[in-house]
Amino acid sequence: MESSSMIIQQVINGISLGSIYALIALGYTMVYGIVKLINFAHGDLLMVGAYAGYFVLRQFGASPLVFFLAILFAMLVCAVFAILIERFAYRPLRNAPRLNSLITAIAVSLILQNGARVIPFIGPNPRQYITLSTVMVDLGFVSISNIQLLVIILSAVLMILLTYIINFTKTGKALRAVSWDMKAASLMGIPVNKTIAFTFALGAVLAAVGGVLYATAYPQINPTMGTMPGLKAFVAAVLGGIGSIPGAMIGGYILGIAETMTKGFLSSQFADAISFGILIIILLVKPTGLMGKNMRVKV
Amino acid sequence: MKKTLASYRNLVIPGCFALAAVILPSIGIKIGIIDAYIAQVITLAGINAILAISVNIVCGITGQLSLGQAGFMAIGAYACIILTETAGIPLPISILLAGLVTSGAGFLIGFPTLKLTGDYLAIVTLGFGEIIRVFLVNLKSLTGGANGKRFTNSSAVFLSLNADIAYLVIIASLVLIIVFLQNFIRSTYGRAILAVREDEIAANSNGIGVFKYKMTGFVIASFVAGIGGALYAPFIGFIKPEMASFNRSIEYLIFVVLGGMGSITGSIIAAFVLTYLQEFLRFLRDYRLLIYPLILIFVMLFRPQGLLGMKELSFVKTWDNFRIFLKNPAKFKVIKDKFTSNKGEKDAK
């Protein structure tokens, strides 16, 4: 069956893209859940991660071991960036109106993008990403590349790890408590500032992995590369219900599959419009997203 | 009662300032006191100010966060170029029609989206902005695709070649928009919109149809954005789908935030100062791109309400203060304090 194998092929491509979206979306959703801020700079952390990985790969060549080293280094760099950004840009505004933090987030995003553009060793020009050599694994009726396999498995492992951290560790409990009620949590002796910084770092770590994987799958990087996957991942987070962690994962996969399906069967130009269209339709039908909780307005 | 000139002062003083702001620089450009480069920058700032007003109507006055206003500007620009080039309608009429087309698009988009609030509305407007951009790129036969579209019509080229006429037309439109808007805000509709901004639930329980007034604000804002786009197209003479991009919308939002949300004069001043600053800082090359966001963060940290907050600058009051100052400089301070209320008059530049 020609068409059914084609569909399965597209689904696999979609899951691979969707895993990356899900990884990035988790960062958005965690930060939103805890400080109610759309962290527009999150997509640019992806860019930072991709560049951090790029320099490691360029230094040591592309072998599987170096690739994991690159991911680790990217995680470290992004975590440091996220903690600094949280400390100096977002924390002073935590009690300010929501709009102000939103504008600050946009400003931080512009600083990261334009900063990368003026730093001499990054520069505005796009670069070819150094990746592992592609090997196709043939599964009879569909074939899957080693990179896609890596993306899917690594993201799944990370998401399981994240679920474990959030549900079964002390820090995770603190994180949930702070997102539930910041003041009550601080009265219970939970270090709110540390927990929030940890959340940002956790999101940034996932974004770093997402960045390296995205650059591996679409091997070209430039300072504005984070904007589009960032927006898409944000759409995924809203789609799943922003603030909900399983929602972000599901949203990521749905968006990834919808996008590759559109590219494969309809028209590749309208893929972006389709993903935003899905977002709009979902929000109209269920304004809090697929797994979001309804908030009652009290007078 | 005898009506003297003084009883018309609320009309006369701002009117004089407005006429001066429209006509004097235009003559200056004509006879060459103001060189073509500066004329270009000021006129562009005028268009930016129109767009900043549009964003301000949605964000500052109606109280809804929109991140897709550049999409409406692009619709206006493309509508103008298509109406003039393809349909052969004279430019002034097609600019007005472009505004109407854009407000129609605003109505269609606002109908589903304005039921959402806060961050969700922001993200949906962002989504619509991107959708508009994707459509502009892909409807090649109508919009020229990713390469954009160029004006060839003689009446339009006339505007991009003659800096003085362009200045006159664009700044005059800006002044007209300000006049209409100031009057609108003080009408019953305007007051209702302000009530919705302040407290939706309270407004609703006082019999104000929240959705209807949000929609009114949104449609007016799209009309203004459409006019801005329709003026931009013949002035620059060339448009690209990138006009609808997220970064453009953010740029206009920055004007409004820096000038003060809800303050029309504030966003106009911010638009002019920042547009000029952008040109002035060219010697810093790419580093100037860092200054913009840094200013933004510092404003958010230290003056979160923006330059003017919700206040308006008033020509009449400035004029009064000026006269009091001339008569008795010592008394000035006392009276100035007494006069600092937040109802403003119009402002041209």
* Per-residue pLDDT, A199: 92
In the structure encoding, which two tokens stand for residue A152, read together?
């899917």
**Whether B118 contacts chain A with CB within 8 A:** yes
Interchain pair B286, A124: CB under 8 A: yes
pLDDT, mean of residues A152-166: 90
**Which tens digit of pLDDT belongs to each residue from B114-165?**
887 777 788 888 888 888 888 888 888 777 777 777 777 766 666 667 778 8
pLDDT band at A65 (very low <50, low <70, confident <90, very high): confident
**Beta-bridge partner residues of A127:** A221
**Beta-bridge partner residues of A137:** A144
Report the Cα B215 to chain-centroid distance in Å.
18
Contacts of A103 in chain B (CB under 8 A): 253-254, 257, 296, 300
**Whether B166 contacts chain A with CB within 8 A:** no
Of the candidates A209, A174, A211, A203, which has an alpha carbon nearest to the alpha carbon of residue A189?
A174
> In A181-244, where does DSSP find H-type helix?
182-187, 192-217, 227-240
**Whether B134 contacts chain A with CB within 8 A:** yes
Interchain pair A269, B250: CB under 8 A: no
Residue predicted with more confidence, B29 or B257:
B257
Interchain pair A270, B134: CB under 8 A: yes
- This model of the complex carries an ipTM of 0.80
Interchain pair A96, B124: CB under 8 A: no
Distance from CA of B190 to the nearest CA of A (A): 23
pLDDT, mean of residues B202-211: 89
Residue predicted with more confidence, A138 or B200:
B200
Test mutation, A39, A42, A110, A112, chain B, max B CBs within 10 A: A110
Residue B344 pLDDT > 70:
no
* Per-residue pLDDT, B348: 40
pLDDT, mean of residues A266-281: 80
Q: Which amino acid is at A272?
A: D
pLDDT, mean of residues B240-257: 86
CB interface of B with A, residues 190-229, below 8 Å: 201
Residues A103, B303: Cα–Cα separation, whole Å: 13
Of the candidates B311, B307, B309, B289, which has an alpha carbon nearest to the alpha carbon of residue B298?
B307
* Per-residue pLDDT, A74: 93
Contacts of B137 in chain A (CB under 8 A): 269
pLDDT, mean of residues A231-246: 86
Distance from CA of B322 to the nearest CA of A (A): 35
CB interface of B with A, residues 42-101, below 8 Å: 65
Residue B335 pLDDT > 60:
no
**Whether A96 contacts chain B with CB within 8 A:** yes
Residue B345 pLDDT > 70:
no
* Per-residue pLDDT, B342: 37
pLDDT band at A18 (very low <50, low <70, confident <90, very high): very high
* Per-residue pLDDT, B3: 60
Test mutation, B198, B291, B300, B301, chain A, max A CBs within 10 A: B300
Interchain pair A103, B134: CB under 8 A: no
* Per-residue pLDDT, A80: 95
pLDDT band at B7 (very low <50, low <70, confident <90, very high): low
Contact assessment for residue B7 and residue B135, using Cβ atoms and an 8 Å cutoff:
no
* Per-residue pLDDT, B323: 76
pLDDT, mean of residues B13-35: 78
pLDDT, mean of residues A25-42: 88
* Per-residue pLDDT, B346: 42
Residues A225, A210: Cα–Cα separation, whole Å: 12
Give B285-294 contacts, CB < 8 A, sequence gap 24+. Answer: B286/A114, B286/A117, B286/A118, B286/A124, B287/A118, B289/A110, B289/A114, B289/A117, B289/A118, B290/A111, B290/A114, B290/A115, B290/A118, B292/A110, B292/B254, B293/A106, B293/A107, B293/A108, B293/A110, B293/A111, B293/A114, B294/A107, B294/A111
**Whether A131 contacts chain B with CB within 8 A:** no
- Cβ pairs bridging A and B (under 8 Å): 111
**A16, A67, A129, B115, B215 from A132: Cα distances, Å:** 16, 8, 10, 48, 53
Of B246, B296, B301, which has the smallest distance from its Cβ to A92's Cβ?
Answer: B301
Contacts of B244 in chain A (CB under 8 A): none
Residues B144, B82: Cα–Cα separation, whole Å: 10
**Which tens digit of pLDDT belongs to each residue from A89-114?**
888 888 877 778 888 898 899 899 88
> Phi and psi of B72, rounded to 5°?
-70, -40
CB interface of A with B, residues 259-278, below 8 Å: 267, 269-270, 272-273, 276-277
Contacts of B120 in chain A (CB under 8 A): 238, 283, 287
In chain B, the residue whose alpha carbon lies closest to the alpha carbon of A287 is B116
In the structure encoding, which two tokens stand for residue B171, read together?
């700044």
pLDDT band at A6 (very low <50, low <70, confident <90, very high): confident
Q: Which of the residue ranges A224-228, B212-216, B342-346 would you say has the lowest mean pLDDT?
A: B342-346
Q: Which of A131-135, A262-266, B39-43, B223-227 has the highest mean pLDDT?
A: B223-227
- DSSP character at residue B67: S
Of B131, B261, B301, which has the smallest distance from its Cβ to A93's Cβ?
Answer: B301
**Whether B304 contacts chain A with CB within 8 A:** yes
**Whether A93 contacts chain B with CB within 8 A:** yes
Interchain pair A103, B118: CB under 8 A: no
Q: Which residue has the tokens 């809203």?
A: A238
pLDDT, mean of residues B111-115: 83
In chain A, the residue whose alpha carbon lies closest to the alpha carbon of B300 is A100
**Which tens digit of pLDDT belongs to each residue from B9-22?**
777 777 887 787 87
In chain B, the residue whose alpha carbon lies closest to the alpha carbon of A110 is B293
